[in-house]
Chain A
Amino acid sequence: MPRYIGITDSKHRDAQVLMETVKSPPKRHFTDEEGQRVRSWRLIKSTEGHDYPSLLHLHPDPEDLAQALVDGDPEIDLENIGRKTGPTDRVWIKPDGKILYSARILKAVYGPDGEEISRDDFVDVEASVDEESALPWSGRLIPRGKVVRSFALVRKIQLRHINGLTFDFLREIAEHLSNLELKPLPPKETE
Chain B
Amino acid sequence: MNEEGDEVESLPSTLGVEMTIEEVAPERLLDHVTPVVYQLDPAELDDALRAALADRTIFETRFNYRTSYAGQACFLVANDAGFFALVGQPAGFAFLEPDEAPAAADAGDDDPFADDFDFGML
Q: Which residues of A contact B33 (CB under 8 A)?
A: 153-156
8 of the cross-chain contacts (CB-CB < 8 Å) are A2-B104, A22-B93, A125-B121, A128-B120, A144-B27, A148-B77, A149-B78, A185-B56
Q: Which of B64-107 contact A (CB under 8 A)?
A: 69-70, 75, 77-79, 84, 86, 89-94, 96, 98, 102-107
Could you say which interface size class chain B belongs to?
A: 35 or more
Closest residue of chain B to A112 (Cβ to Cβ) is B39
Across-interface contacts of B107 in A (CB, < 8 A): 1, 3
Query: A2 and B102: CB pair below 8 A?
Result: yes
* Residue positions of A touching B, CB distance < 8 A: 1-4, 18-24, 27-31, 112, 125-129, 135, 144-145, 147-150, 152-158, 160-162, 164, 167, 170, 185, 188
Give the 7 A-B CB pairs with smallest separation, nearest first: A127-B116, A24-B92, A144-B26, A154-B35, A148-B29, A22-B92, A128-B120
SS class of chain A's interface: helix, strand, loop or mixed? loop
Say whether, besides A148-B26, A155-B35, A129 and B106 are in contact (CB < 8 Å): no
Task: Tell me if B's interface is mostly helix, strand, loop or mixed.
Answer: loop
**A122 CA / B113 CA spacing, docked (Å):** 19
* Distance A94 CA – B42 CA, assembled complex (angstroms): 43
Do A20 and B116 form a contact, CB below 8 Å, given A28-B2, A167-B96?
no
Given contacts A1-B103, A129-B116, contact A160 B34 (CB under 8 A): no
Interface pair A127/B1, CB less than 8 Å apart: no
Chain B residues whose C-beta falls within 8 Å of the C-beta of A3 in the assembled complex: 105, 107, 111, 113
Residues of B within 8 A of A144 (CB): 26-27, 30
